[in-house]
């Protein structure tokens, strides 16, 4: 069957449009096949403090540490930066190696274990017969640029009777540590130092209450 000139032109135009749509819609897939996908950013960790002084008395009390709570953007793996008083952003070239509230919970538990001030400490899922619960809320965990840069960590802590549900003690812990820069390695290092100060204070304070 012979195709007229007009029909031939329409066929060619339809082919060009279809090819353009395919290239636009399949670009991500082609990019992935050609190795164009962006690699994940480097991850950084928090370290539990060590080197606690030995106590002459035996450890006492059993404690459950709940997963910390936090508002966005701290409720994520992001390393947060405050470029000014009214703005929060996140580093694109770095992140924590776990969800920050869960990471804080894990490292606080390990700090208690390193301090050896309590008979037992664990998570709620450990089925520990606890005397108290430690509730943590991350209020700040960021690099502050104005007047800095500096790492600022602020965590609210509540010691709650496991059976009574009554708050035995509550306190807000905050510290600021100078940072060598706001890039991934320097930001993570400064935040780790600030967290170490706060974690140590939380553990020693809790042990005195319990």
| Residue among 48, 197, 192 at smallest CA distance from 112 | 48
pLDDT in tens, 46-99: 999 999 988 877 888 999 999 999 999 999 999 999 999 889 999 999 999 999
Distances (CA, A) of 1 to 11, 81, 164: 15, 68, 90
* Whether the predicted model's global pTM rises above the 0.85 cut: no
Spell out the domain ranges in the chain: 1-39, 43-209
Q: How far is it, in rounded angstroms, from Cα 55 to Cα 167?
A: 26
The CATH superfamily label for domain 43-209 reads ABC-type transport auxiliary lipoprotein component (3.40.50.10610)
| Residue among 139, 128, 143 at smallest CA distance from 101 | 139
Peptide bond into 149 cis (omega under 30): yes
DSSP 172: E
């Amino acid at each position: 069957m012979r195709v007229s000139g007009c029909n031939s032109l329409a066929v060619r135009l339809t082919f060009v449009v279809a090819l353009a749509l395919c290239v636009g819609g399949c670009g991500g897939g082609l990019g992935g096949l050609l190795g164009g996908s962006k690699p994940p950013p480097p991850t950084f960790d928090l370290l539990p403090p060590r080197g606690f002084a030995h106590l002459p008395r035996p450890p006492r009390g059993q404690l459950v540490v709940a997963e910390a709570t936090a508002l966005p953007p701290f409720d994520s793996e992001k390393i947060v930066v405050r470029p000014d008083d009214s703005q929060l952003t996140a580093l694109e070239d770095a992140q924590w190696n776990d969800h920050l509230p869960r990471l804080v919970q894990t490292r606080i538990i390990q700090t208690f274990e390193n301090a050896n001030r309590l008979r037992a400490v664990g998570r709620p899922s450990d089925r520990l017969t606890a005397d108290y619960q430690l509730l943590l809320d991350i209020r700040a965990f960021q690099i502050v640029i104005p007047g800095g840069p500096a790492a600022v960590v602020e965590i609210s802590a509540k010691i709650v009777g496991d059976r009574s549900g009554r708050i035995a003690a509550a306190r807000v812990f905050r510290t600021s540590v100078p940072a060598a820069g706001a890039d991934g390695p320097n930001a993570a290092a400064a935040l780790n130092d600030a967290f170490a100060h706060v974690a140590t204070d939380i553990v020693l304070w809790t042990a005195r209450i319990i």
